[in-house]
Every structure is written in structure tokens, then in C-alpha cells.
Structure 1
Amino acid sequence: MESTLEFKSEIAPGVFCGQKQVPMETAGCYVPGGRYAHVASAIMRSPQPRLQELKISWHAHLQTHRRNKPAILYTMNMCGADNILAIGGFKGIASLAFGLFTGNRRHPCRSR
């Protein structure tokens, strides 16, 4: 748990590195879709905003052939997605990052 604390150290004369805690209210998660979409992508990304106790989470998912994948939409909903955008690729990520639909920028959620 020591890695979650704020710290700052000088690694060379005049060169500092550190970590700072910044509170967030909203999060944007991109769930990849496309030809070989898998529900595991939604399972890995959708619960993260709830675990981090954020107020609102937005998710973007790619449509293929003008259709959404029902299994992935259901999984995102069951895992706690507040809002789902049917926009994928760079357009979905830009919409989440710059808050094009709400005016509020969102912080990205990443999963490994």
C-alpha cells in the first residue's frame, strides 16, 4: 500500500520524480468491439469506476455493421456502466476524453 501514497524525490540534481493523488468524479472506459469482440473486455473495464468509488462512468463501444453486440452491452450494464456510447475507435475515445456529449472531461480507465 505504500505505492498509493504521495511522494516526491530528487533522482538527479534538479530532476524530480514522484506520485500525486488527484481526485476524480467521472471516468471514461473504452470497451473494444469489432469483428472479434469478447465480453471479457467489458468485465475487465466496467467495474473499475465502481471500485474506485466514482460518481459517474461512461463507456464507449464499437458498432459493427450498424449493430451493437447485445452480450457486451448487457455485460457493461450488469457491471455498472452508467452511460454507454455506441461510438467506437478514435471517435469513441475522443468523445470520452473531451466530454463531447456532456461538456465534462472524463479520466480514462485502463485495464491490464
Structure 2
Amino acid sequence: MNDRRDHYPNYSFEFLRDGDMLDAMFWADEREKAFYAEFGEVISFDATFRTNKYKMVFVPFTAVDHQKKSVIVGVGLLSRETIESYEWLIKAFLRAHEGKAPKIVLTD
């Protein structure tokens, strides 16, 4: 993922480690950032899907485009569902999108 930043300057990727274990990760590419700039007033983030292999929670951030289709505006993985993990993830999301916060956030 770090190599992508070298080839795609508008690619955002952050991760958090606990020792040598991956604790959290967030990424957004140029397309996802463009979707957010255009459709990011209302987003949803749903952390209900846990991956099988690594036991991490998959957290897609989605918006709805002008054709009423869901578009991804960022993606995260969390090893733990703690307040601190979600705080880190949301801050990483905001850093990737240059501090522009959505007007409404829907979640489960």
C-alpha cells in the first residue's frame, strides 16, 4: 500500500500497529476522494462485516451519487471495535478528505 503513494500522489493510506500486529488501516484513492468531494454531504459507515481470515472488521464509507447508486468514499479495517479505534478511523478519514466533514453520518 505504501508503494501506491509513490505512483498515485492523491492516494491516502494510513495504518496503526500494536507491536508487530496490524490494529487498524484506512485508505482512499483519487476516485474515492472525487466521489466524496461531489457526493460527500451525507455518508454512511457500516462496520457490521467481519473478515474471516484476519478477524478484522471491514468498514466501508459510502455515499449516494446523482443516479442513486452507492459509491465508496473510503475504506477501513479494524482489529478491535473500541472507541479509540473508531476515533482513529474517523480522523484518518477526515485527514484523507482534507478535513471536510460530512453534514450527516448514518451508521448502524
Q: Give the structure-2-normalised TM-score.
A: 0.30
Q: Give the structure-1-normalised TM-score.
A: 0.29
Q: Which structure features the higher share of strand residues? A: 2
